[in-house]
Amino acid sequence: MPWGETSIMSLRLEFVMLARQEGANIRELCRRYEVQPRIGYKWLKRYAEEGEAGLADRSRRPRHSPTRTAAESEAIIVALRRQHPCWGGRKLRRRLSDLGVREVPSASAITAVLHRHGLIEAEESAKHRAFVRFEHAAPNELWQMDFKGHFATAAGRCHPLTMLDDHSRFALAVAACGDERRATTEAVMTAVFRRYGLPDRMLMDNGAPWRGDEDSPWTKLTAWLLRLGVGVAHGRPYHPQTQGKDERFHRTLNAEVIGCHAWRDLADCQAAFDRWRHVYNAERPHEALGLDTPATRYRASRRGFPENLPAIDYGDGAIVRKVHQKGELFFANRSWRVGKAFEGQPVALRPTTTDGRYDVVFCQHKIAELDLREVDP
């Protein structure tokens, strides 16, 4: 994975949670996670019998005792809060329950513990209000992607690239990048596609490297996505609410990770991102999900990443033209600009219901429109 190595426990737990989803193709997941099927099924069996503890090395001691005194329970609450200083009473209560702690106090009782230990300010709860957002009906219908604002490290600047599933809020990537160029972005996306498969569509903002110029909105990166059969959508300019889930995710990332440390270099950033991504996906209760974790709602896409793309075929009788230099094609004795992103690629011209108008299609995606009635300047 381009975002660095993750812990064995984190990868095992992520694999198991995806493999337990209804309709999951376990052997395909084994291939994506690079494990033998017998090992994958062993992890599933251990998890079913012992929970998360079953995924650890056998020599490890159990994390939790079956009995706790009131003082011990309060100590656990304090320790978990210090581990996750941005979590409130409801998240802490759900996480303690998920960890198997017996007789978990109510959320209000946990909040009282935090107050007694000076771990929460009286006015802090006023800053957190539930906000209902639209979400897609199933995983992988839409992924949101964006670069979070870059920040300084001792060795340069880090540009965090995040990818989030709209339905489940599952964080597919939190990558510490050294720049925001196409090659860097494509490398991260390729690794994500290999592990989780392809989404139906991706939503991104209007910045580089996924938005073109005024003549054509397409870039080499978005043309590559279309070639993979992934639809591309852009948020409205100056309206970050369009990508509200990813924007909210960025605030959480900043509060729980980026704003809490001084960073040495990209490797230091990536190690922290990897640890936190696991916590966010598999441990941190999510308010918008009824305090479930994103990993319980996400499942890997059935559409695998094609290492070798088939030739583009528009079928018999299609009007096909090749896009030449400067992003132009020749049709009806005229040159038409459709975008430099498609240089060297074949496109199809399909007549619309309006006489003289043609849709320009690349791999079943409309990328431009030609109107033969326009006067050639």
Q: Tell me the per-residue pLDDT of 165-182, one tens digit each, with 9 for 90 and over.
A: 999 999 999 999 999 999
What does the alpha-carbon distance between residue 51 and residue 67 come to, in Å, rounded to a whole number? 18
CA dihedral in degrees (271, 12, 17, 288; nearest 10)?
-20
Q: What is the pTM of this model?
A: 0.75
- pLDDT tens, position by position, 4-57: 455 788 889 899 999 999 889 999 999 999 889 999 999 899 999 888 888 886
Q: Is residue 70 exposed (0-12), middle (13-18) or buried (19+ Cβ within 10 Å)?
A: exposed
173-195 CB burial, b ≥16 within 10 A, e <16: bbbbbeeeebebbeebbebbbeb
- pLDDT tens, position by position, 271-326: 999 999 999 999 988 787 788 899 999 999 999 999 998 899 998 889 999 999 88
142-296: CATH architecture: 2-Layer Sandwich (3.30)
Do residues 325 and 342 make contact, with C-beta atoms less than 8 angstroms apart?
no
First to last CA, the chain: 50
**pLDDT confidence tier of residue 135, bands split at 50, 70 and 90:** low
**pLDDT confidence tier of residue 214, bands split at 50, 70 and 90:** low
E strands within the chain? 142-147, 151-153, 156-165, 171-177, 201-204, 231-234, 319-322, 328-331, 334-337, 346-351, 357-362, 365-371
Q: In this model, does residue 134 exceed pLDDT 60?
A: no
Least confident span in 13-22, 30-39, 126-135, 149-158: 126-135
- Residue ranges covered by each domain of the chain: 70-127, 142-296, 319-371
What does the alpha-carbon distance between residue 77 and residue 113 come to, in Å, rounded to a whole number? 8
pLDDT at 125 (0 to 100)? 44
Q: What is the helix (H) or strand (E) element at residue 222, kind and residue range?
A: helix 220-227
Least confident span in 87-96, 125-134, 235-244: 125-134
